[in-house]
A and B are shown apart, each in its own frame.
Chain A
Amino acid sequence: MRSVLIFMILFAVTGIGEVNAQDMQHQHDHKQETLKAGNIQSDYSLYHLDSEFITHRGEGVKLSEFSGEPVIVVMFYGNCTQVCPILIQDSWRLYSSLSETAKTTVNVLAVSFDTENDSPEVLAEYAKDEQLDISGWHFVTGKDADIRMLAMMLGVKYQKDSSGNFAHSNLISVLDAEGNVVKRVEGLNQPMDEAASVIETISQRSEQMN
């Protein structure tokens, strides 16, 4: 009985696997996309996410407002005392390794997935405590569904446990001027030189455009 069941389960899984493979092929022959004038140029830009987020300065913001310049995105939560400070520290390490020019063009988005506790006020407090309430740094929250959507686009997984803590991926992403993910740094305490040089290149390009 047991082996029959296992066989059936495997059959079910294999079936899905084939569906996946078919769908994977479809991504290469997608239809010509109709874009509105002045709209997002890239099919795979994060800026297609049209939701409004809110910063620790209490300002409503759409991701597309950051277009034209490089962006560092990191997802975290304020009550996290173990891993997140390292993750924010890593983001700071990346930011502070940049040239002065790149520092002025780059934006850092630290997005909280604790939509219940991390209000703009709490995030403002957090930014102050971390001494990161500085120009170009934005601690961001938003509606649960929108945060989840952004996380999925970045490839960040998170899951709340019953004690209110989150298990989550540790990931820093770099977006180019069009909002495409061009570099991902996974894990804690990773070397940042590659990500930094990617940002420098984007930064130089956007300087030339201006």
Chain B
Amino acid sequence: MITGVLLILVSSFINPANSQTPKVFIPAGSFHSVLPEVKGEPIQVNPFFMDETAVTNEQYVKFLRSNPDWRRSEIPPIFTYDGYLRNWDSDLEPNYDSVGKDRPVTRVSWYAASAYCSAQGGRLPTLNEWEYSAQLLGIDDIAEMNRFSSKLISWYSGIDVNNLPEVGSTGIETTAGVKDQFGLIMEWVADFKPIIADEISLDCGTVGRMQTLNSIYSYAASIRYITRMSFNPKITTGMLGFRCAYDEPDHSDENKNEVTL
């Protein structure tokens, strides 16, 4: 944990005037999944880095400037359905008045999100990495956790896609320092359809087949897992954005330092 904090400090020190989102260190650990494939056994997660906040419209424009293949008029249909960035004025103009500079970019397909992260030297977080990070809430009191989870459930049933808050504004932050994993948008993960999705049909019995783990949080998690399993990599919806994960802190910055030293 101390290393984590130090690394965050170091990376913000290296990038003082950089508009890039800070990368937060997530220490190794484990969590319990609601998927029925892993009864009892906690899932181990290796240490990794993840963006502090979701990717914003402004950051996405920056990516499109240097990656024209992913602009709305250029992207081939194998990578998205027609709704890709549909609410933008044009290829490089989101119309910040309506979608906001610092609001999360949404209406991006899994492929586009993945290409963005690849261009940043990262990748989408795996499902387990995202879920593990999300539950590091530091809420020990069961009653408080239940209140939080109930709020979460009602939030999942009504995300207002036309009035998304800015990134970093939800006040929900993990103990590692990752912001808005709840309360802002749904987020793409690398393997949003886990192997077991083939066996779980999305019907009335699906929730019953998820593990309850004796908590309201597990119901909220079940909603999230099931919703994700219903996605396919080409869909674009107003409530679905992303953030990137990294195996290591920024190498390019380290190299820069070596050169200047």
Residue among B77, B124, B127 with the most chain A CB within 10 A? B77
A23-B83 in contact (CB<8A):
yes
Interface residues of B in 222-256 (CB under 8 A from A): 222-223, 226-227, 230-237, 247
> Could you tell me if A29 and B82 are in contact, using CB atoms closer than 8 angstroms?
yes
Name the one of A30, A158, A167 contacting B77, with C-beta atoms under 8 angstroms.
A30
Interface flag for B157 (CB, 8 Å):
yes
A149 x B114 contact (CB < 8 A): yes
Do A145 and B230 have beta carbons less than 8 Å apart?
no
Distance between A65 CB and nearest chain B CB, rounded to angstroms: 17
CA A34 – CA B114 in complex, angstroms? 22
- In the complex, chain A residues whose CB is within 8 Å of the CB of B44: 162
* Binary flags per residue of A141-159, CB closer than 8 Å to B gives 1, else 0: 0011110110011000111
CB contacts (< 8 Å) of B123 on chain A: these are 143-145, 148
Q: How far is the CB of A39 from chain B (nearest CB, A)?
A: 10
User: Is the pair A11, B157 in contact by a Cβ cutoff of 8 Å?
Assistant: yes
A88 near B: Cβ within 8 Å? Answer: no
In the complex, B79 has a CB within 8 A of chain A: yes
Can you list, as one digit per residue, whether each of A1-45 has a CB less than 8 Å from chain B (1) or not (0)?
A: 000011011111101110110011011011101100000100111
Is B194 part of the contact surface with A, judged by Cβ < 8 Å?
Answer: yes
B78 contacts the other chain (Cβ, under 8 Å)?
A: yes
Q: Please measure, in the bound complex, the distance between the C-alpha atom of A11 and the C-alpha atom of B226, giving whole angstroms.
A: 12
B219 neighbours in A (Cβ, 8 Å): 5, 9
In the assembled complex, the Cα of A69 lies from the Cα of B98 at a distance in Å of 48
Query: Could you list which residues of chain B lie within 8 angstroms of chain A, going by C-beta atoms?
Result: 43-44, 69, 73-74, 76-79, 81-83, 110-111, 114-115, 117-118, 122-124, 126-127, 153-154, 156-157, 190-191, 193-195, 197-198, 202, 204, 206-208, 216, 219, 222-223, 226-227, 230-237, 247
Cβ of A169 within 8 Å of any chain B Cβ, yes or no, is: yes
B76 touches A33 (CB 8 A): yes
Q: State the majority secondary structure of interface residues on A.
A: helix
Known A33-B77, A48-B78; judge A152-B111 contact (CB<8 A).
yes
Contact A48 B195 (CB under 8 A): no
Beta-carbon contact of B237 and A157 below 8 Å: no
Contact partner, B118, options A15, A145, A168, Cβ 8 Å: A145
**Contact with B222, one of A9, A43, A168 (Cβ below 8 angstroms):** A9
- Contact A23 B235, beta carbon cutoff 8 Å: yes
| Shortest Cβ gap from B152 to chain A (Å) | 11
Given contacts A26-B81, A27-B81, A159 and B223 within 8 Å (CB-CB): no
Q: Which B residues lie within 8 Å of A30 (CB)?
A: 77, 81-82
Question: A148 contacts B195, CB within 8 Å?
Answer: no
Asked if A44 and B235 sit within 8 Å, CB to CB, the answer is: no
Q: Does A202 contact B (CB under 8 A)?
A: no
**For the complex, what is the distance from the CA of A12 to the CA of B126, rounded to whole Å?**
23
A46 contacts chain B at the CB level, 8 A cutoff: yes
